[in-house]
């Protein structure tokens, strides 16, 4: 089997690494335990997290053992890296709920049977730490002078950095030490914005345990336009189908910038690199074929082949205006209705999507109605000609009910 380090390098994952030659040799010669941490700041992982999950899947497929570390403890503080302000402090109950949702999602991607992967929660060792003992045994190994030169802290000094947040690096470093002692964990992986935090743990383990451990970061998933992958004007792309339905995920990926297609195929799918390069080389209208493949493959990994097929069929029907069985249902309506404007609740009722005005208002208030992927938030919304593109709008009710209006 090919060395997974070479696979990750070829596909464009790796950004920085300690002792590259040593680590490559280690990964090629034995099964290695590694970890990635996930702070439970929301009730779902995002498309940005999916890059980290793909890394874990590649490593596990190559025979290595992942630890998915849920940040039930560190989320109590919040990582200051990349922040211009202090993160909102969350309750233990909220953090635990989020962590449970992360656990369910991660189990879809990694094989936790027979010790092939481990799920840990740093709340198990961080919440009951004795402060004085921790500072005496761990804090003594960290230089404040050096920490203040790190971007994660330096960028916050003008706005103000609390001592509360200043301790985050020590806690994350302690996680690596704890996982080394519990599971012989040898590598910590994370996004490039985590490099200084990861180095803190790497150095702590080497000092206290006198053993070789390693650090590796991968690129943050950004678009050619410089925005974070999975961030849109309408919000975040989530891995939870309740928050971002498979069709919306598919459409987001189907509409990525031409310049991003090859990179995203390499990072977010398991397609062979020969196929990735072939698809990435397509030009003009042909690049749409590559975008369809990208959207299908990612939706398949995240949600299932069945959901990817449904999303693809719905998308093709929408683009082509097809009306075959199984495509999106539609209703032809008089253009004059929309010249005057019609209330959204009345429109839903006319289309047979709701049985009563109260049902319509409830759906809208719960975020269950969208027009062309734009969530309707006002029950008094008036649908007019301004909402139409090429004489069409697509209404979605809930996760799976689509209806097109044509004029």
pLDDT in tens, 142-171: 887 787 777 766 666 667 677 767 788 899
pLDDT digits (tens, 9 = 90+) for 347-357: 999 998 998 99
More confident residue, 164 or 337: 337
Residues 305 and 345 in one domain: no
Residues 146 and 169 in one domain: yes
Residues 389 and 254 in one domain: no
pLDDT at 405: 93
Quickly list DSSP for 110-150: S--GGGSSEEEETHHHHTT--HHHHHHHTGGG--HHHHTTS
pLDDT at 325: 40
Residues 96 and 214 in one domain: yes
H-type alpha helices, 184-334:
195-209, 246-254, 261-268, 273-280, 287-302, 305-320
Residues 19 and 87 in one domain: yes
pLDDT at 84: 45
What does the pLDDT average to over 94-115? 94
pLDDT at 323: 42
H-type alpha helices, 30-167:
47-61, 92-109, 123-126, 131-137, 144-147, 151-154, 163-166
CB atoms inside a 10 Å sphere around CB 175: 26
Residues 339 and 263 in one domain: no
What does the pLDDT average to over 299-314? 94
Residues 14 and 41 in one domain: yes
Q: For all residues of the chain together, what is the average pLDDT?
A: 89
Domain that holds residue 266: 245-327
Residues 100 and 188 in one domain: yes
Cross-strand pairs, 203: none
CATH of the domain at 323: 1.10.240.10
pLDDT at 162: 72
CATH of the domain at 109: 3.40.50.620
CB-based contact 77:127 (threshold 8 Å): no
Residues 312 and 361 in one domain: no
Residues 85 and 27 in one domain: yes
Last residue of a domain, one of 218, 253, 286: 218
Give, rounded to a whole angstrom, the gap between the first and last alpha carbons of the chain: 57
Residues 396 and 314 in one domain: no
CB-based contact 363:397 (threshold 8 Å): yes
Most confident of 78-87, 269-278, 353-362: 269-278
Q: Is the pLDDT confidence value at 262 over 90?
A: yes
Q: Confirm whether 235 is domain-assigned.
A: no
pLDDT at 314: 83
Q: Confirm whether 271 is domain-assigned.
A: yes
What does the pLDDT average to over 313-329? 62
């Amino acid at each position: 089997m090919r060395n997974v380090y070479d696979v990750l390098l070829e596909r464009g994952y790796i950004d920085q690494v300690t002792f590259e030659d040593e680590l490559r040799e280690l990964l090629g010669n034995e099964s290695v335990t590694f970890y990635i941490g996930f702070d439970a700041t929301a009730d779902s992982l995002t498309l940005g997290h999916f890059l980290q999950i793909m890394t874990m899947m590649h490593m596990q497929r190559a025979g290595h053992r992942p630890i998915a570390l849920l940040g039930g403890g560190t989320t109590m503080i919040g990582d200051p890296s990349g922040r211009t302000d202090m993160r909102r402090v969350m309750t233990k109950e909220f953090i635990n709920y989020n962590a449970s949702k992360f656990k369910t999602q991660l189990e879809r991607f990694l094989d936790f049977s027979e010790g092939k992967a481990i799920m840990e929660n740093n709340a198990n060792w961080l919440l009951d730490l004795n402060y004085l003992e921790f500072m005496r045994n761990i804090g003594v190994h960290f230089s404040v002078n050096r920490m203040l030169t790190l971007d994660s802290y330096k960028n916050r000094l003008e706005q103000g950095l609390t001592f509360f947040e200043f301790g985050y690096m020590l806690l994350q470093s302690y996680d690596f030490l704890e996982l080394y002692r519990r599971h012989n964990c040898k590598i910590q992986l994370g996004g490039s914005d985590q490099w200084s935090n990861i180095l803190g743990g790497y150095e702590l383990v080497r000092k206290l345990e006198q053993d070789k451990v390693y650090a590796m970061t991968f690129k943050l998933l950004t678009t050619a336009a410089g925005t974070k992958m999975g961030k849109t004007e309408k919000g975040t792309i989530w891995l939870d189908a309740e928050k971002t339905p498979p069709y919306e995920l598919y459409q987001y990926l189907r509409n990525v910038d031409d310049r991003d297609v090859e990179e995203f195929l390499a990072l977010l799918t398991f397609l062979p690199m020969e196929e990735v390069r072939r698809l990435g080389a397509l030009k003009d209208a042909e690049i749409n074929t590559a975008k369809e493949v990208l959207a299908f493959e990612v939706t398949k990994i995240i949600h299932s082949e069945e959901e990817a097929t449904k999303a693809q069929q719905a998308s093709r029907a929408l683009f082509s205006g097809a009306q075959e069985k199984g495509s999106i249902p539609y209703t032809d309506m008089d253009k004059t209705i929309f010249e005057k404007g019609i209330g959204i609740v009345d429109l839903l009722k006319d289309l047979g999507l709701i049985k009563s005005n109260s049902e319509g208002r409830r759906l809208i208030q719960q975020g269950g109605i969208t027009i062309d992927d734009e969530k309707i938030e006002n029950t008094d919304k008036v649908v007019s000609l301004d909402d139409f593109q090429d004489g069409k709008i697509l209404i979605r009710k809930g996760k799976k009910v689509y209806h097109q209006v044509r004029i």
